[in-house]
Chain A
Amino acid sequence: MGEYFMPRVAVLKFPGTNCEEETVYAVREISRVEAEIVWHEEFKWRMWDAVIIPGGFSYGDYGRAGLIASWSRASRELVEAADNGIPILGICNGFQVLVELGLLPGALTVNIDGVFHAKWVKVRINNPKGPWLVLAENGQIVEMPIAHGEGRYYHPEPHKIVVERPWIEYIGCNPNGSVASIAGLGSSSGEILGLMPHPERAAFDVQVPYPHTAGGKLFFESIGLSLRRGW
């Protein structure tokens, strides 16, 4: 037997990122792997087994959500990490960064009614694969809160891009006018995943008021398992 290394997850922090603490907490407590908040200037992908870009307003969302962060040095590291098959999860602003970087297709624009929405939503997980969704069943419906002003997903051919990829779909109501009700989307391998809802806010039972359920646990349990056993 070789030495056992505890897998390590980086939770990337840009100026203006604001969901890093609860995200690190969920990774430590639920994924049961090591996790650290990593300041964007200090981020080197080779040191980590997986990366999460948490929610917030990186660089104040100036220009467009995620835009300036996608120009940063850390983002060049992210592209290299992606090329090397490192699992990357982008939550909310993190999803916006992944889209701006071109690691995921399409665009995220201002909600159709121009208003910020924070509420619990139901989503369906379609075609799950990859390290973030190993425990998900196809068609599984989970609940999580959303909180965003720029979450309207757009792609000219939405039905083509979801054929191969894992994707997440709003059920019941489409809160922001996303094309094909797309709430989240993965790379074709599922190693990269971006989503607007916040799994770290629905990861523990105490974060979940009646009548909702803790739909975010799945993502953290999946990555924990994947990093220990592969995917």
Chain B
Amino acid sequence: MPLSRDELEYAVQVLGRKLSVEELAVLEAEWSEHCSYKSSRRLLKLLPSNAPYVVVGPGRDAAAIRLFDDVDLVLVFRIESHNHPSAVDPYNGAATGVGGIVRDVLSLGAKPIALVDALFLGDPNDSHARWLAKEIVRGISDYGNRIGVPVVAGHTWHGNAYNRQPLVNVGCIGIAKLNEIVEGFVEPGDPIIVVGNATGRDGLQGSSFASKPLSDGNEELAAIQVGNPFLEKLLIDAIREAVENRLLKHVKDLGGGGLATAVVETAAASGVGATVYLDKLHLREKLEPVEILVSESQERMLVVPKRNCLDKLIAIFDKYGIEYSTIGYFTEDKLFRAYFKGKLVVELPIELVVNPPEPKRASEKPRDWPPPMPDIDIPLEKAGEVILKLISSPRIASKRWIYEQYDWGVGGRTVLPPGYGDAAVIWLRELGLRGVAVKVDGNPRYTKLDPYIGAALALEEAYRNVYVVGAEPLAAVDNVNAGNPEKPEQYWFFHRMVEGLAWIARELEIPVVGGNVSLYNESAHGTMVDPVTTVMVVGRVFDVSKTLGYRLRGKGVLVLLGDTYPELGGSELLALLGFEGGSPPKPRPALEKKLSKLLRVVAEKRLAYAAHDVGVGGLIASIAEMVACSGVGATIDLSSVGCRECRWFEAAFSETQARVVLEVPSEKLDELKLLARKNNVPLYLLGYTGGDIFEVRIGNRIVSKIPVEKVYEVYEKTSWEKFMGVD
């Protein structure tokens, strides 16, 4: 997207002269929404990011926290979207999204150990949406598998709004010793080395492309980057070897905005200038200087060695057979200069490049929003039918067709893979039995109805999923996906999402240590895709052998922790009935915190066989999921959930937050009850597990009886597996 007239005038005024073509391209890339966060910077400051264990907060390529007080290991992580590229070329778009986030984690010197993905896909009945979904998953699979970083957890959503424009958010976590973290500080005289892929014409102006609505035509294919996972794997190994040998003072991904952005942001962060010679860079094809500056060819990194370490660094690159070029050096004078064949083509003050004029963004709540809660009633006789329909919804049904394409086990660290528990648990074998848990969540139905509450619930749900496995949630990173910031009614959703996220982060005492903003998720016809905030939460585990999964043993008591309220606004049940309306369920951070504490004791003392949170689809969906994936029956009584004002379908399908289902060995029940009382957590006896029937009762009346085999079949086979076989 070209600079706005105001921006251009501002640049000319500051410089006191006209800009060269190359300078325009640099500003266009760096002043794009994608690189500069010009519409979001101010708002993002609302997010609390401090905690005693935060080692690197927002501002660098990734964040870092210390996991345990007594060990010097840090967890490095980030999440990022690759929405626009994935809409145009889903395979390469999603694949390079993985590549980029892994390099971000690598930029701090960490070894990437796990990936998570949040996919917002279209309706499986729509053939274009199906093609996009298939190719996105294949792209993540091919790239992730080949670089040897397991995809351990994810979140998948389906809705018509994403038929043409899916959202692809990918997160990565890595580990490093505290003293391995690359400082990221450069000094005048330090060389600028670019290592990795030869630069070509792919991904030209990718950032400015991602900073405007998609158009109908095909001209955007040129902006798509193409990935080379083999080279990425070599880069990971080479950079890690250099880090372990303490050779590097700075590493940065050449991501959005390409070479120009990486050099300028590095210089800005250290308060220096930089001079580069564009003709020194290794190229794949003949390029114009302007193309060299902003190409977004993948698998490239800017590295700055420590003094006297250059030879050793080059020996490592040679060992792995990776190309590199020394293209310039940092300077005292705070200017960014680029030469091409002896000619000065760019001379811009760093300050100007990294500080675009802040655009004025108006925010206006859409009128008559949200639609009111419809008046619904479902006869009890329909219970069995509704339950089966609910668990066959693509939002609830098994995501096996996705996660079995991902190598979730490479690294040998995966304790709880996808399909086994609410969050992934990763074993840190270098620390005995300790580990880390991670999960990503986001519900666009909630954020669309009420962006403030919806964004809050994204963090709350990811937080819950992390504590349900027995981990202690420590920090979050967010990915806000919204529409066109130039339109007040779309900007309102963005602005309210950030505020809601900031509120819940304070309530839950979870610092938001980094994130990504994706704006302009809007079609050529001006329709905003359903806005959503994706949140990735990480937590620590002291003993991974005590992790709680959700597979039932079939010989326990079913217990519900937490109260139920009639909260069907924005629920899966409403959607099933064809309605969109009401308010999303109320956030309940105080109870979540108590539950978090309680679940850690439950795990530690082995008081439960299985644990699963209640989310989309409510209590029934939660238990049906446990039944389907363990092949074990369950009997529950809806009148025992303790909601007097609830009608039967509210007790069954309400999406009230802060609830967890446990399968408890009967001999441990008393101990659990005592513990729950002590922690002020409401506890209800729902029923028991075992047999081969999923039975739902209200008191003595049986309202639904479904064979486990049928639950399994509907959960596993009627949704995506069936649809994916179509083409």
- Bind each other: yes
Q: Residues of A with Cβ closer than 8 Å to B?
A: 15-16, 18-19, 21-23, 25-26, 39, 55-57, 59-62, 115-119, 145, 147, 149, 198, 200-201, 203, 205-207, 209-211
Residue B406 at the A interface, CB < 8 A? yes
Interchain nearest-CB distance for A144 vs B (Å): 10
The 6 tightest CB contacts between A and B, nearest first, are A18-B148, A22-B412, A60-B230, A147-B407, A209-B420, A201-B409
Are A118 and B409 in contact (CB-based, < 8 A)? yes
A contact residues around B146 at 8 Å (CB) = 16, 57, 60-61
In the bound assembly, the distance between CA atoms of A19 and B148 in angstroms comes to 7
Contact of B229 among A60, A119, A200, A203 (CB under 8 A): A60
Among the listed stretches B95-103, B449-457, B543-551, which one makes contact with chain A, having 4 or more residues with CB under 8 Å of it?
A: B543-551
Interchain nearest-CB distance for B629 vs A (Å): 11
Are B551 and A209 in contact (CB-based, < 8 A)? yes
In the bound assembly, the distance between CA atoms of A118 and B234 in angstroms comes to 23
In the bound assembly, the distance between CA atoms of A145 and B551 in angstroms comes to 18
Residue B263 at the A interface, CB < 8 A? no
In the bound assembly, the distance between CA atoms of A201 and B415 in angstroms comes to 10
A contact residues around B142 at 8 Å (CB) = 116
Are A206 and B545 in contact (CB-based, < 8 A)? yes
Residue B414 at the A interface, CB < 8 A? yes
Contact of A15 among B147, B230, B415, B549 (CB under 8 A): B230
Interface centre among B403, B411, B545, by most A CB within 10 Å? B411
In the bound assembly, the distance between CA atoms of A78 and B233 in angstroms comes to 24
Residue B429 at the A interface, CB < 8 A? yes
Interchain nearest-CB distance for B138 vs A (Å): 8
Residue B413 at the A interface, CB < 8 A? yes
In the bound assembly, the distance between CA atoms of A76 and B48 in angstroms comes to 58
Nearest residue (CB) in A for B421 is A209
A contact residues around B228 at 8 Å (CB) = 60
In the bound assembly, the distance between CA atoms of A178 and B640 in angstroms comes to 51
Nearest residue (CB) in B for A41 is B319
Are B549 and A209 in contact (CB-based, < 8 A)? yes
In the bound assembly, the distance between CA atoms of A60 and B420 in angstroms comes to 30
A contact residues around B415 at 8 Å (CB) = 206-207, 209
Are A118 and B230 in contact (CB-based, < 8 A)? no
Q: Residues of B with Cβ closer than 8 Å to A?
A: 141-142, 145-148, 228-230, 233-234, 319-321, 403-417, 420-421, 427, 429, 433, 544-545, 549, 551, 553, 630
- A-B contacts, 12 of them at CB < 8 A, read A15-B230, A16-B146, A21-B412, A57-B146, A60-B146, A60-B233, A62-B230, A147-B409, A198-B409, A206-B433, A207-B413, A210-B549
**Given A206-B544, A209-B551, A210-B551: A57 and B410 within 8 A (CB)?**
no
Are A209 and B417 in contact (CB-based, < 8 A)? yes
In the bound assembly, the distance between CA atoms of A57 and B149 in angstroms comes to 12
Interface centre among B233, B403, B427, by most A CB within 10 Å? B233
Are B230 and A57 in contact (CB-based, < 8 A)? yes
In the bound assembly, the distance between CA atoms of A118 and B414 in angstroms comes to 13
In the bound assembly, the distance between CA atoms of A206 and B229 in angstroms comes to 29
B contact residues around A22 at 8 Å (CB) = 411-413
Contact of B233 among A18, A26, A115 (CB under 8 A): A18
B contact residues around A118 at 8 Å (CB) = 403-409
In the bound assembly, the distance between CA atoms of A117 and B137 in angstroms comes to 13
Contact of A200 among B145, B320, B412, B545 (CB under 8 A): B412
Are A207 and B414 in contact (CB-based, < 8 A)? yes
In the bound assembly, the distance between CA atoms of A149 and B417 in angstroms comes to 19
B contact residues around A15 at 8 Å (CB) = 230, 233-234, 320-321
Interchain nearest-CB distance for B320 vs A (Å): 6
Nearest residue (CB) in A for B141 is A116
Interchain nearest-CB distance for A197 vs B (Å): 10
Nearest residue (CB) in B for A149 is B145
Nearest residue (CB) in A for B403 is A118
In the bound assembly, the distance between CA atoms of A60 and B409 in angstroms comes to 19
A contact residues around B433 at 8 Å (CB) = 206
Interchain nearest-CB distance for B631 vs A (Å): 9
A contact residues around B403 at 8 Å (CB) = 118
Interchain nearest-CB distance for B175 vs A (Å): 12
**Given A57-B233, A62-B230, A209-B549: A18 and B147 within 8 A (CB)?**
yes
Contact of A18 among B321, B410, B417, B429 (CB under 8 A): B410
Contact of B404 among A25, A117, A203, A210 (CB under 8 A): A117
**Given A116-B141, A147-B410, A200-B412: A16 and B233 within 8 A (CB)?**
yes
Interchain nearest-CB distance for B71 vs A (Å): 18
In the bound assembly, the distance between CA atoms of A200 and B229 in angstroms comes to 23
A contact residues around B145 at 8 Å (CB) = 57, 116, 147, 149
| Contacts A116-B406, A211-B630 supplied; 6 other A-B pairs, CB < 8 Å | A16-B146, A22-B411, A118-B405, A147-B408, A198-B412, A209-B417
B contact residues around A19 at 8 Å (CB) = 148, 410-412
Interface centre among A56, A62, A210, by most B CB within 10 Å? A210
In the bound assembly, the distance between CA atoms of A205 and B427 in angstroms comes to 11
Interchain nearest-CB distance for A58 vs B (Å): 10
Interchain nearest-CB distance for A19 vs B (Å): 6
A contact residues around B408 at 8 Å (CB) = 118, 147
In the bound assembly, the distance between CA atoms of A119 and B321 in angstroms comes to 33
B contact residues around A18 at 8 Å (CB) = 147-148, 233, 410
Contact of A16 among B230, B407, B413, B553 (CB under 8 A): B230
Nearest residue (CB) in A for B231 is A60
Interchain nearest-CB distance for A66 vs B (Å): 14
In the bound assembly, the distance between CA atoms of A26 and B411 in angstroms comes to 12
Are B230 and A26 in contact (CB-based, < 8 A)? no
In the bound assembly, the distance between CA atoms of A56 and B141 in angstroms comes to 14
A contact residues around B414 at 8 Å (CB) = 201, 207
A contact residues around B406 at 8 Å (CB) = 116, 118
